[in-house]
Every structure is written in structure tokens, then in C-alpha cells.
């Protein structure tokens, strides 16, 4: 660029800034729309060239205007998008530093707190915070010191927008990565978030928690109870994420309590079966209600089936873990679960899991056959997945009242 062209560009930029300073909200919004449409995706050097190396002067004006007006929300979405153009140029952190020095992080977090903020605006604010976090450890610390973890978690629990929920989880995951000072705080926040009401948010939280857990050397024991409670969800995608996390936790010191708790879920207390914490409001698939006999115990039975499935997946291809589960009396509990004629999936999952243990430990076969009887056992060996069709009330009562004690048998095999 020649000297004359450079001088002309400076004059153009100064005219732009004067127009901004003199313009009302409507004029500024018009200027921002033009800025966003013309500059999305530009690098730091391209913006500096366009703004005659004083782009920071416009960023400061933009940040100040947003800080003074965000509570009204009129032009907030546009302000956030324009700010994002500056923060996306992370190959050079000058704009990011200036934004932080001007209180940008606190403004974004306050946007998340404001009741009048729209879901798209919250999602955009979270994206900007994610850009800050992704810039490096010292920026993550700034967000966390500003109560970013707490505010993000609260935003996630209150939101019904998938976009907001996904971005909030992405931010929490980013803040935890390479940030040892705040890693445990984020880990605890994610565990607490497993109790959130939105099924989609719960699924995302479980996935994020799984990612964070893989980076930790230990697992907190109080992760077990809320995680197993998630197995009551009537949404299969939520259950799948929960089971994936359970499979991860077998490598940690919570393994004994996790396994014993899963086995116990196969035989829920009678009072829970009669007076459960009903979550039927979460069901969107009416066919599910039609398919399963409703007794008011559906979440408990769903949890029972999920526990049987989780135990099977834990035991697959792991003889040591299988033996550990077997020593907890799982055989008796699986037979009990197979007698639950009020929930077909519980019967199916229990049958398939018991089939795995019978195949892995042939010495328990005769004990299982003694409970089932030769006819039912033959059907079990032929196709465990359809065994429920052979179980009538009499056979169900026999399974429910079984007294098999495999731990004693196992001791004799050692």
C-alpha cells in the first residue's frame, strides 16, 4: 500500500470512528451489521490492515457499548457476533488481552445470568467464553476466577436450548483441560449437573464428565450414587452415556462400590417398586408406555434392566472382573430380575447377562439349572434373549424366591 493509500485508509477509519461516536443505537447497529458481513473470518493482520492498525479503537468502543447496554438486550446478539470476529483471531492475542482488560469476561458471564437474555444470546456469549478458554491456561484461570464454572453450570441447568447446552458443556470441558488448579471444581460441578432435568443436558453432561474423568487419576466415591440414579432415565441415549461412564470407572478406586451397587439394583426394595419416584413426564414416545405394563414402578425397572446390561458389558472379556462380580452374588440377583414379568427388558437383559456368566464359569451351570428346572434351562441355553416368553407366573415366583449362593460355590473353585 502506497503512502497516499495508507493516508486515505486512515482518513476512512477516522471517519468511521467519528460516525460511531456520533451515531445513535440504530446507526451503530447498522454499522455493526456491515462490519459483521464484511469481516467474518478475517485474521488479525487483515483487520489491522483494514483499520489502519487501530482496530483496537473500534473494539474498545464496541466492548464499552455492549457493557452499557447488554441488560436491555436490544442489539446484544449483533454486539456479540461483532466481538466474536475479534476474538476468533487467536493467532494473535492482542484483541483478546484488550477485551479482558476492559472487563469482557465479566460482561459475558453477566449476559448468562440475566433473565432477559435470549437463548441465542446466551449461546453466543458461551461461544466467546469458549474462545477465551481455548486461548490457553492463563485465560482459563481468568474465567474460573470470575466464577465462570458456577455461572456456566447454572446456565446449563436453566436452559432448554440444545445449542446453549452443547456450548456450555464444551466450555466446561475446555476449562478443565490443562487447568489443574480448577479441574476438581469443574469435576464436582459436572457430577452435580447429572441431576439436571433436561434429558439432552443430562446426556451432554455425562459425555463431558466421561471426557474429564479420563484425565483424572482418581474418581470421587460420591460419583456413584448420582450416576446410578441416571440409569432410571427413560431415554436410551442418556442411559448409554451413563453406561459408558460406568465402563470407564472400572479402572478407578470406586470399582468395588460401583460393582456392589450395580448388583444391588438387580433386586430393588419392595417399597421402591410400590412407591417409586415417577419420571414418566420425561417420556415422549407413547409407544413405550403401551409396550410396558404400567405399575408406577417403571423407572425402578428401567434402572434394574440397565444395571443388568452394565454388568454384562463390564464382565465381557474380563475374567478377573467377572469373578469379582460373581463373588457379589450376582447369579441370585439375575435370576430374581428374570422373574420380573412387569418389565420385559429387565428379563431380557438379566437373561443375557446370566448367559455370559454361565458360559464363563461352567461350574455354576448346575446351580442355575436347579433353580430353573430342565425345561426352562433348555430354553435358556437355546436362546436367552427370548426366555421371557417361557416364564409364566409360577416360574416367575420360583425365580423371584431363588436362594442360589454362588459366592460359596466360587470359594470351592478357587
3-state secondary structure 64-127: HHHHHHCCCCCCHHHHHHHHHHHHCCCCCCHHHHHHHHCCHHHHHHHHHHCCCCCHHHHHHHHH
CA 229 – CA 173 distance, rounded (Å): 23
How far are the Cα atoms of 43, 48, 139, 189, 390 from residue 206, in angstroms, in the given order?
36, 42, 25, 12, 37
Q: Each residue of 259-280: pLDDT tens digit?
A: 999 999 999 987 666 543 333 3
Q: What is the pLDDT of residue 286?
A: 41
Whole-angstrom Cα distance, residue 240 to residue 324?
23
- Mean pLDDT, residues 136-149: 97
More confident residue, 92 or 24: 24
Above pLDDT 90, what percent of the chain? Answer: 85
Distance CA 81, CA 70 (A): 13
- Could you tell me which of 232, 235, 248, 374 has the C-alpha nearest to residue 306? 232
Question: How many angstroms separate the Cα of 135 from the Cα of each of 93, 185, 310, 331?
Answer: 8, 20, 38, 52
pTM attached to this predicted model = 0.89
Q: What is the mean pLDDT of residues 348-377?
A: 95
Per-residue pLDDT tens over the stretch 35-91: 999 999 999 999 999 999 899 999 999 999 999 999 998 999 999 999 999 999 866
pLDDT band at 297 (very low <50, low <70, confident <90, very high): confident
Q: How many helices (H) and strands (E) does the chain have?
A: 26, 0
Tens digit of pLDDT for each residue in 301-314? Answer: 999 999 999 999 99
- Residue-averaged pLDDT of the chain: 91
Which pLDDT score is estimated for 408?
A: 52
Amino acid at each position: 500500500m502506497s503512502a497516499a493509500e495508507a493516508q486515505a485508509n486512515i482518513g476512512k477509519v477516522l471517519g468511521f470512528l467519528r460516525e460511531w461516536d456520533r451515531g445513535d443505537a440504530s446507526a451503530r447497529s447498522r454499522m455493526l451489521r456491515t462490519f459483521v458481513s464484511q469481516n467474518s473470518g478475517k485474521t488479525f493482520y487483515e483487520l489491522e490492515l483494514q483499520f489502519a492498525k487501530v482496530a483496537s479503537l473500534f473494539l474498545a468502543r464496541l466492548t464499552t457499548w455492549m457493557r452499557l447496554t447488554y441488560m436491555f438486550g436490544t442489539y446484544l446478539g449483533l454486539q456479540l457476533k461483532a466481538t466474536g470476529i475479534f476474538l476468533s483471531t487467536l493467532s494473535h492475542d492482542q484483541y483478546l488481552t484488550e477485551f479482558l482488560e476492559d472487563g469482557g469476561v465479566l460482561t459475558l458471564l453477566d449476559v448468562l445470568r440475566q433473565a432477559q437474555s435470549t437463548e441465542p444470546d446466551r449461546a453466543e456469549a458461551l461461544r466467546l467464553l469458549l474462545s477465551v478458554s481455548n486461548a490457553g491456561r492463563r485465560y482459563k484461570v481468568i474465567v474460573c476466577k470470575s466464577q465462570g464454572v458456577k455461572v456456566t453450570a447454572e446456565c446449563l441447568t436453566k436452559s432448554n436450548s440444545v445449542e446453549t447446552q452443547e456450548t456450555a458443556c464444551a466450555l466446561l470441558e475446555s476449562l478443565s483441560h490443562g487447568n489443574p488448579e480448577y479441574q476438581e471444581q469443574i469435576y464436582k460441578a459436572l457430577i452435580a449437573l447429572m441431576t439436571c432435568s433436561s434429558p439432552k443436558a443430562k446426556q451432554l453432561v455425562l459425555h463431558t464428565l466421561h471426557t474429564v474423568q479420563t484425565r483424572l487419576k482418581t474418581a470421587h466415591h460420591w460419583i456413584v450414587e448420582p450416576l446410578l440414579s441416571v440409569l432410571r432415565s427413560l431415554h436410551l441415549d442418556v442411559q448409554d452415556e451413563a453406561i459408558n461412564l460406568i465402563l470407564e470407572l472400572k479402572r478407578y478406586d470406586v470399582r468395588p462400590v460401583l460393582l456392589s451397587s450395580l448388583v444391588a439394583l438387580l433386586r430393588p426394595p419392595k417399597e421402591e417398586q410400590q412407591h417409586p419416584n415417577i419420571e414418566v413426564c420425561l417420556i415422549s414416545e407413547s409407544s413405550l408406555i403401551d409396550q410396558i405394563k404400567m405399575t408406577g414402578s417403571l423407572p425402578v425397572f428401567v434402572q434394574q434392566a440397565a444395571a443388568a446390561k452394565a454388568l454384562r458389558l463390564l464382565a465381557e472379556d474380563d475374567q478377573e472382573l467377572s469373578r469379582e462380580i460373581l463373588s457379589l452374588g450376582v447369579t441370585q440377583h439375575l435370576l430374581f430380575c428374570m422373574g420380573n414379568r412387569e418389565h420385559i427388558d429387565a428379563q431380557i437383559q438379566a437373561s443375557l447377562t446370566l448367559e455370559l456368566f454361565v458360559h464363563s464359569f461352567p461350574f455354576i451351570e448346575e446351580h442355575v439349572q436347579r433353580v430353573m428346572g430342565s425345561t426352562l434351562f433348555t430354553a435358556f441355553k437355546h436362546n436367552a434373549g427370548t426366555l421371557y416368553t417361557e416364564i409364566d407366573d409360577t416360574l416367575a415366583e420360583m425365580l423371584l424366591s431363588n436362594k442360589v449362593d454362588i459366592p460359596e460355590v466360587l470359594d470351592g473353585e478357587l
